[in-house]
Structure 1
Amino acid sequence: YVKDIWKIEETFADYIGTDLNGSGTAIQPALQYAKQQKEGIMSILYLDAKGKVLFSAGEDYFYEPLILNSYIEELNNGKERVIGNLTGNLMPYDKYVIPVLYGIRNQGELSGMVAAFVDAEKLAYNMPNINLYRSFLLLDRDGMIVCSSKFKDHIKNQSSLTDNTGVAKALSGSVEKTVKEKSVFDDSTNISVDYPISEFGWAIKISSPLGRVQSFHTFLAIQSFSLLIATFILAILVHVLWVKKFLKSTFAVKLAATRIMEGDYSARTDIRSEDDIGLIATAFDKMAESVERWTAAKTLLFTNISHELKTPVNVIYASVQLIESYRHSRDLTLETYQNKVSRQMKIIRQNCYRIMRLTSNLIDIGRHDSGFLKPKMENYDIVKLVRDISLSVERYVEAKEIELIFHSELESQIMACDPDMIERILLNLISNAVKFTDRNGMITVSIEDDQDKIILSVQDTGIGIPQDKLQSIFERFKQVDDPYHLNRDGSGIGLSLVNAFVDAHGGTITVVSEESKGTTFQISFPIRVLGNSPANKQEGPISKMPLVSPPNSVNRINIEFSDIYSLYDEEMMQEDAWKGEAS
């Protein structure tokens, strides 16, 4: 507020220049304009260097030369601007004013001055709002109260506060903090801070009743202590609840683990929380589910293996008994005896194939699980390999009155593969297709080119696979549980082994099926060639080994197709057995 008044005076001084003896026609309006620029200016004077009033605007009762003499002396001593002390009883009005002066200089010498008398009460309006329980004092250089939070009651008939230690130190330019100080208004004890306004030479005193400050701090201490106690109690409750929940969850995990150890693999924790215990419980439940699934698979394995072994062993045993009965029969001619024994030997051989197929699959599955199922890769013409394998089983398929077709988009394609695994894959897929395809059906083996891949497909027109079973057919020991699939023998590991062989080649296998229309197995093999042999040529020896060894191929076909022809042979065996018993 005071700086604004100094700015108004400076602007006026710049306007009039140094014309102290002018006519006043321009000065008086300028002085009147300056008075109107700030509310609270009671009067504004334009004086010469000795303090003589040249022009004035407002009430002239405010001017008293003796009052301004000390301030004029300060201006003469080099100060540019000065604010005086509180002044009162100099007018017929009940007003207290504060003189604010600005020096006008010409070549460094004081040539005049502007003095504004400011209403002290208006100055109080510019003070900040102070809390009801605090007092605010603005003190001039003489220690007189210019304005306070109790202005009307204490501005009049006051005495200087320079005898107050805090006020004296603040007027001398230092900050003073007092814990116990007697109030300047009454006998109460205050806590106060005295702060200097160095630019004016004035001071500010802010005080609060010590009792109220102590009460407030006591309240804060009690509030903080109460909050601490409440927090502590809440922490204990949270801890108790967490421990209770933790113990409950831990007990649930322990109980589920105990039940699993006792053989109940259906045990679960049933904890669904998102905290660490919940994550552990979820992992435990998944582990228990996996254990239950593999236990069921193991049980199914034993059941299937027992059935798969029992059936051919029983057939072999029955054939041996029949041969024994033929040997002791006196009614059979040598030729008849030889024919019957030959038939039973075929049955024994066929069921030996079934046992060999099962044991071979189990060994390969074990090698795959142990990481020892490695393909023996060499460069082969995959088109010729697949064609030879398909043609080698043609008479077996046609014996079931099913048409087998081979089709290839390529004449030749050299790629690295294991011919034994490729043969096992094809024989397994074709034998499955024969199992589930009725008479007059069709099985198509095809090869297609897909840029850097070879697509091998086996398609049949059989009974198909239900859509909800397609995702599980490659799982070990899984067989489609459906009335259409009854009376089809199998251990449930054939397709799992096919998947393992395909994976060993870095390929993928997919299946598409529609019930009553057929199934298509599609295998994608990456085209890779060992050494420097080009993938698109077939000149020169590809391998020292023949692509398909006829005797070995026949044995493998007999082994892989043993399930298909065993039913017929068993019927024939049973027929011979009935005839033997009748005779």
Structure 2
Amino acid sequence: MNISKLPGHDHSGDPFSKIIDNINYMSKELGQIEQMRQEFVSNVSHEIQSPLTSISGFARALKNENISAEERVHYLSIIETESERLSKISDNLLKLTALESSQHPFELQEYRLDKQLQQIVLRCEPQWTAKQIDMNLALSKAVVTADKDLLDQVWMNLLNNAIKFTPDHGTIGIAIHVDEEKLEVAVSDTGIGVAEEEQLHLFERFYKADKSRNRNQGGSGLGLSIVKKIIDMHGGTVSVISQPNLGTTFTVALCAGTVPRSNKTLK
């Protein structure tokens, strides 16, 4: 979309100058929104096309009657993996869309955050034990008022991210720090880390810090976007400190007695 700019008026007393300036401002904003929309559609198309290409290619390969039983199982395994990846992309897109909707339900309740994190670690136990990762927990007793289901998604995404990029026999730590003003949860790992220039983009949709990573390991680039959106809804912040080959720490900070910035969607 090419939105032309109206010529401005140089005379300060011109009654139309402010109107024209406002029109030009809206034109610029619309142009930026259209560019973002096009980039979003392009990114979605690219992410969906990749697994579809693999599924289609290996499905055609299965029609070959001369392939061995071992090859057939291998191809079917790839089709299954790519189908799961496609399903996850779709699921995450739906989550983001729902979170950005003003009608998204936002259910506040008071509960024990330390117990919630313990449950998340147990739910992910098969993944981290398979890689023989040491799990260090420093979970001080903490009570939070928040949307439990949404924060479940935050901790699950952060922990899965840490497991994904931590090598075998590595270490993951989860710690809670509470003071009078805020509550912090830090999820750290001894994984591959992220370069400083890429850290600013980690929470952008579809951004992948290392384009050369194995695609099955790298994910869709939507998980951290979901994390940030949920924490924003709670009026908190999420930050990252990382160094290549030395690990990464994500820190979520929530105000004491957490409440959302806007209660328009509260029930």
Instruction: Determine if the TM-score, normalized by the shorter chain, exceeds 0.5.
Output: yes
Matched position secondary structure for 1:356: helix
Corresponding residue for residue 114 of structure 2: 383
Question: Is the contact between residue 202 and residue 209 of structure 2 (CA under 8 Å) also seen in structure 1?
Answer: yes
Question: Is the contact between residue 142 and residue 178 of structure 2 (CA under 8 Å) also seen in structure 1?
Answer: no
Structure 1 Cα separation of the partners of residues 149 and 24 of structure 2: 46
Matched position secondary structure for 2:200: helix
**Which residues of 2 match residues 140-219 of structure 1 at below 5 A?**
none
Once the two structures are TM-superposed, the CA of residue 350 in structure 1 deviates from its matched residue by: 5.3
Matched position secondary structure for 1:463: coil
Q: 1:291 pairs with 34, 44, 47, which one?
A: 34
Once the two structures are TM-superposed, the CA of residue 389 in structure 1 deviates from its matched residue by: 0.8
Question: Is the contact between residue 383 and residue 413 of structure 1 (CA under 8 Å) also seen in structure 2?
Answer: yes
For the aligned residue pairs, the C-alpha RMSD in angstroms reads 3.8
Corresponding residue for residue 451 of structure 1: 180
Corresponding residue for residue 303 of structure 1: 46
Once the two structures are TM-superposed, the CA of residue 382 in structure 1 deviates from its matched residue by: 0.9
Corresponding residue for residue 362 of structure 1: 93
Question: Is the contact between residue 505 and residue 525 of structure 1 (CA under 8 Å) also seen in structure 2?
Answer: yes
Q: 1:507 pairs with 219, 222, 236, which one?
A: 236
Once the two structures are TM-superposed, the CA of residue 432 in structure 1 deviates from its matched residue by: 1.8
Structure 2 Cα separation of the partners of residues 367 and 472 of structure 1: 22
Once the two structures are TM-superposed, the CA of residue 513 in structure 1 deviates from its matched residue by: 1.9
1:527 to 1:268, Cα distance in 2 relative to 1, 3 A = same
Q: Deviations over 1:375-417 (max 9, x none)?
A: 3333321101101211321331232343332222x2x323233
Once the two structures are TM-superposed, the CA of residue 481 in structure 1 deviates from its matched residue by: 5.1
Q: Deviations over 1:328-352 (max 9, x none)?
A: x9xx9xxx9xxx98x9987776555
Larger Rg: 1
Which ranges of 4 or more aligned residues in structure 1 deviate by more than 6 Å? 270-275, 343-349
- Which residue identity lines up with residue 384 of structure 1 in the other structure? K
- Which residue identity lines up with residue 447 of structure 1 in the other structure? I
Question: Is the contact between residue 271 and residue 278 of structure 1 (CA under 8 Å) also seen in structure 2?
Answer: no
Deviates more, 1:518-527 or 1:267-276: 267-276
Q: 2:151 pairs with 422, 425, 429, which one?
A: 422
Question: Is the contact between residue 234 and residue 258 of structure 2 (CA under 8 Å) also seen in structure 1?
Answer: no
- Which residue identity lines up with residue 398 of structure 1 in the other structure? T
Corresponding residue for residue 393 of structure 1: 124
**Which residues of 2 match residues 66-145 of structure 1 at below 5 A?**
none
Structure 1 Cα separation of the partners of residues 235 and 258 of structure 2: 13
1:269 to 1:478, Cα distance in 2 relative to 1, 3 A = farther
Structure 2 Cα separation of the partners of residues 274 and 470 of structure 1: 43
Matched position secondary structure for 1:472: coil
Q: 2:138 pairs with 396, 404, 407, which one?
A: 407
Once the two structures are TM-superposed, the CA of residue 491 in structure 1 deviates from its matched residue by: 2.0
1:529 to 1:367, Cα distance in 2 relative to 1, 3 A = closer
Corresponding residue for residue 431 of structure 1: 160
Q: Deviations over 1:93-115 (max 9, x none)?
A: xxxxxxxxxxxxxxxxxxxxxxx
**Which residues of 2 match residues 510-549 of structure 1 at below 5 A?**
510-528=239-257
Once the two structures are TM-superposed, the CA of residue 499 in structure 1 deviates from its matched residue by: 1.2
Matched, 1:497 2:240: no
Question: Is the contact between residue 231 and residue 237 of structure 2 (CA under 8 Å) also seen in structure 1?
Answer: yes
- Which residue identity lines up with residue 31 of structure 2 in the other structure? A
Matched position secondary structure for 2:88: helix
Structure 2 Cα separation of the partners of residues 445 and 366 of structure 1: 29
Structure 2 segments unaligned to the other structure (5+ residues): 12-16, 260-267
Structure 1 Cα separation of the partners of residues 58 and 256 of structure 2: 45
Structure 2 Cα separation of the partners of residues 383 and 508 of structure 1: 19
Matched, 1:442 2:174: no
Matched position secondary structure for 1:293: helix
Corresponding residue for residue 85 of structure 1: none
Q: Deviations over 1:162-202 (max 9, x none)?
A: xxxxxxxxxxxxxxxxxxxxxxxxxxxxxxxxxxxxxxxxx
- Using CA pairs under 8 Å that are at least 6 residues apart, name the structure with larger relative contact order, 1 or 2: 2
Structure 1 Cα separation of the partners of residues 147 and 181 of structure 2: 18
1:392 to 1:304, Cα distance in 2 relative to 1, 3 A = same
Question: Is the contact between residue 184 and residue 254 of structure 2 (CA under 8 Å) also seen in structure 1?
Answer: yes
1:274 to 1:439, Cα distance in 2 relative to 1, 3 A = farther
Once the two structures are TM-superposed, the CA of residue 305 in structure 1 deviates from its matched residue by: 2.4
